[in-house]
């Protein structure tokens, strides 16, 4: 797929690949699966310049573009998912500030994000508001030069390690009771706490958050009152396609493991790679990953170029890439046979890691609805 990339993008992709192989792989071996965000990991990613992807030119960054974020996530996810999650959450927590933040907010938060001095998170989901964002119950009420937040959030990644959370809550307005606004909530703010840490089949820093009479000064509001839904959707449009890129990275790792094992595993006097049944699996896996990568690149290039229908393209990339990667990882486990089911094997870990990508930032079913409604609107 190099023909779809500029020389600058190829150089950056190669830089991320070297970082993943030379720096990230040893860190993955050292820390393994963890609910924490190792400080050594954050420092290494900062030194590699990965967090500067989220900085505007005014703060010394390259300007936020979707394609480099996708290239980075593909290389990170296949080697160490905590690194991929950390980059993704820096993007989800920081991009709303890039979009709607004042110059003071951008300088206070985006600069430290770019240097790896501050970790961000993004809080939209609630127990009763997943795919149906408008069902959220958390609210903020204007009071005494600021806002008082009450409510809770669920399934918030890097919520324990983050120094601030970009949070979305209802701010009912006359004539618009479902109005939503975005706020920056600093860790340590009275009335805000991590209610509990959550455990997944593939561990990472995942939390439930609680706001109880949490007062925020007006300068913590992002944009204007009532702009929260627009800010959230614009943020997700960029990061959703990068979920597809992460899925491709996990799929690539699974294909590499399957290729290696198929050539070493001997049955009936021959490597199983010599059997047509195995060869068909490998061919299908490689083809699906190339198709997924093409959809991700197309969505990112169109987004960066300001072309129309980026939301539909982002949904197509996220939908196809995550579903395809799930099939690829499953086939890799099948090729490994019983070895692939052993706890701690590479493909067993990938099998658990890929599963969440079909759910977060919009389930596959939601993205099918987005795509279909876009098609029908053009009919």
Q: Cα separation of 41 and 31, whole Å?
A: 9
Q: Cα separation of 77 and 86, whole Å?
A: 10
Q: Cα separation of 81 and 75, whole Å?
A: 10
199 flagged as catalytic: no
What's the Cα-to-Cα distance from 51 to each of 89, 158, 212, 271, 371, rounded to whole Å?
Answer: 11, 15, 32, 44, 31
The answer to whether 340 touches 348, Cβ cutoff 8 Å, is yes
Residues in the chain: 379
**Rg from Cα positions in the chain:** 21
Phi, psi for residue 142 in degrees, rounded to 5 = -70, 135
What's the Cα-to-Cα distance from 171 to each of 99, 127, 174, 180, 192, rounded to whole Å?
Answer: 20, 19, 10, 5, 18
Q: Which ranges of the chain would DSSP assign to H, the alpha helix?
A: 7-19, 25-31, 39-47, 66-77, 81-100, 103-105, 111-115, 228-264, 276-304, 310-336, 346-355, 364-378
Contacts of 158 (CB under 8 A, 6+ apart): 37, 85, 86, 89, 93, 119, 120, 121, 204, 205
The answer to whether 164 touches 93, Cβ cutoff 8 Å, is yes
Neighbours of 278 (CB within 10 A): 22
Q: Cα separation of 364 and 351, whole Å?
A: 17
Q: Tell me which of 75, 323, 361, 365 is the catalytic residue.
A: 361
Neighbours of 329 (CB within 10 A): 29
List active site positions. 361
């Amino acid at each position: 797929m190099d023909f779809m990339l500029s020389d600058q993008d190829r150089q950056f992709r190669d830089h991320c690949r070297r970082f993943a192989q030379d720096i990230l792989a040893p860190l993955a071996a050292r820390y393994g699966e963890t609910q924490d965000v190792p400080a050594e990991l954050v420092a290494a990613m900062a030194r590699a310049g990965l967090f500067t992807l989220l900085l505007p030119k005014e703060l010394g960054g390259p300007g936020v573009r979707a394609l480099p974020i996708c290239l980075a996530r593909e290389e990170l996810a296949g080697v160490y998912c905590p690194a991929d999650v950390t980059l993704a959450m820096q993007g989800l927590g920081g991009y709303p500030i890039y979009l709607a933040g004042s110059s003071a907010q951008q300088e206070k938060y985006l600069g430290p994000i770019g240097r790896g001095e501050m970790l961000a998170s993004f809080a939209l989901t609630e127990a009763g508001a997943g795919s149906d964002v408008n069902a959220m119950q958390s609210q903020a009420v204007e009071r005494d030069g600021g806002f008082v937040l009450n409510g809770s959030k669920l399934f918030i990644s890097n919520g324990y390690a983050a120094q601030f959370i970009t949070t979305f809550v209802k701010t009912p307005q006359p004539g618009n009771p479902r109005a939503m606004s975005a706020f920056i909530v600093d860790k340590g703010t009275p009335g805000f706490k991590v209610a509990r840490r959550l455990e997944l089949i593939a561990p990472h820093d995942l939390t439930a958050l609680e706001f109880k009479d949490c007062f925020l000064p007006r300068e913590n509001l992002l944009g204007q009152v009532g702009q929260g839904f627009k800010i959230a959707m614009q943020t997700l449009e960029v990061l959703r396609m990068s979920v597809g890129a992460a899925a491709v990275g996990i799929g690539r790792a699974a294909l590499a493991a399957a290729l290696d094992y198929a050539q070493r595993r001997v049955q009936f006097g021959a490597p199983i790679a010599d059997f047509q049944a195995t060869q068909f699996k490998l061919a299908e896996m490689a083809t699906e990953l190339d198709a997924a990568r093409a959809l991700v690149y197309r969505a990112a290039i169109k987004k960066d170029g300001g072309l129309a229908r980026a939301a539909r393209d982002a949904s197509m990339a996220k939908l196809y890439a995550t579903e395809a990667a799930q099939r690829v990882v499953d086939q890799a486990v099948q090729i490994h046979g019983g070895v692939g089911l052993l706890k701690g094997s590479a493909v067993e870990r990938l099998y658990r890691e890929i599963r969440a990508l079909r759910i977060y930032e919009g389930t596959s079913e939601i993205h099918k609805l987005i795509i279909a409604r876009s098609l029908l609107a053009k009919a």
